[in-house]
Amino acid sequence: MRVGVLTGGGDCPGLNAVIRGIVRKGVQEYGYEFTGFRDGWRGPLDGDTVRLDIPAVRGILPRGGTILGSSRTDPLTVESGIRRIKENLAKSEIDALIAIGGAGTLRVAARLVDEYGVPCVGVPKTIDNDLSATDYTFGFDTAVGIATEAIDRLHTTAESHKRVLVVEVMGRHAGWIALHSGLAGGANVILIPEQRFDLDQVCAWVTSRFKATYAPIVVVAEGARPRDGEPARPSGVGEWLAEEIERRTGNEARTTVLGHVQRGGTPSAFDRWLATRFGLHAIDAVRDGDFGSMVALRGTDIVRVPLSEATARLKTVEPALYEEVGVFFG
């Protein structure tokens, strides 16, 4: 049995831990051999492979990024993409493929299984935690930790200068990172893509925070938008928000955009734990011939769900949860 492994989409702390889990269990327990495909779906598309055995996965558990490389290549949009993938998998004598990725990567895997009979198993990955079929994705805990540490640090500089500090975090469609890091870091305002915000209300919270003699921290997800119109600035909602707050309240404001820092570097202990377990269960799914499935976390159990179901719906922040956190605003 030879198993192909690829990592697609944006990189994410914990990818290497998944790869290590798959290879260690696959070789030691099942006697499988592995082939790594480089840069997501580009690997099988171009037949670009890399050696993947026990020595290749030694020491990678705490390493960020992915030893296989990643890309957002979508083979379904490439001419003869499916034919090329099938030919290259046959050439490398691949019996099964494990795709580790977010919604985009897994949607391709789902179609490859359902429509073209390619035996794929999926592992969910995204720092955004917005896949509906799993309680958590690995990478999220690390991103929240990094954002929380940044907010902690920004409190003291905000206090010293009596400034508003706007912190822009990742999350185009879902506000999970903003919500968790904002709550953990004691932010005074948290703005998420799921709910359009009222700029007057934001300014009122900022002003009331200053009245209480503390400098406010505003955490904004990159996809958050004001109720009235889009921010006109291409530089992002964080910059726009700081300018508007300064103009409207007269308080000096600055923006910190955390960007890819949230995805870089070593995974947290939780993400290593979750990613490793996903890897161990993914290779079990291959052994069981359970193609078209994806591993997922439910409570403390790792379960299997159909790939097609897993990628069907985005998991977003419910209004009730957002309201719960609102007690700390202002």
**What residues make contact with ligand F6P under the rule CB under 6 A?**
10, 102, 126-128, 170-172, 222, 263
Of 128 and 284, CB closest to ligand F6P: 128
Separation CA 77–CA 111 (nearest Å): 13
Of 174 and 286, CB closest to ligand F6P: 174
- Least separation in angstroms between residue 38's CB and ligand F6P is 18
- Least separation in angstroms between residue 139's CB and ligand F6P is 8
Of 113 and 131, CB closest to ligand F6P: 131
- Least separation in angstroms between residue 127's CB and ligand F6P is 5
* Catalytic site residue from 39, 53, 114, 128: 128
- Least separation in angstroms between residue 171's CB and ligand F6P is 5
Per the CB < 8 A criterion, the answer to whether 266 and 62 are in contact is yes
Bridge partners (DSSP) listed for residue 297: 302
- Least separation in angstroms between residue 13's CB and ligand F6P is 11
Of 171 and 231, CB closest to ligand F6P: 171
- Least separation in angstroms between residue 173's CB and ligand F6P is 8
Q: Is 128 a catalytic residue?
A: yes
Q: How many residues are listed for the chain in this entry? A: 330
Separation CA 173–CA 106 (nearest Å): 18
Q: Which residue is nearest to ligand F6P, using beta carbons?
A: 170
Bridge partners (DSSP) listed for residue 293: 121, 306
Of 140 and 291, CB closest to ligand F6P: 140
Of 57 and 174, CB closest to ligand F6P: 174
Please give the positions annotated as active site: 128
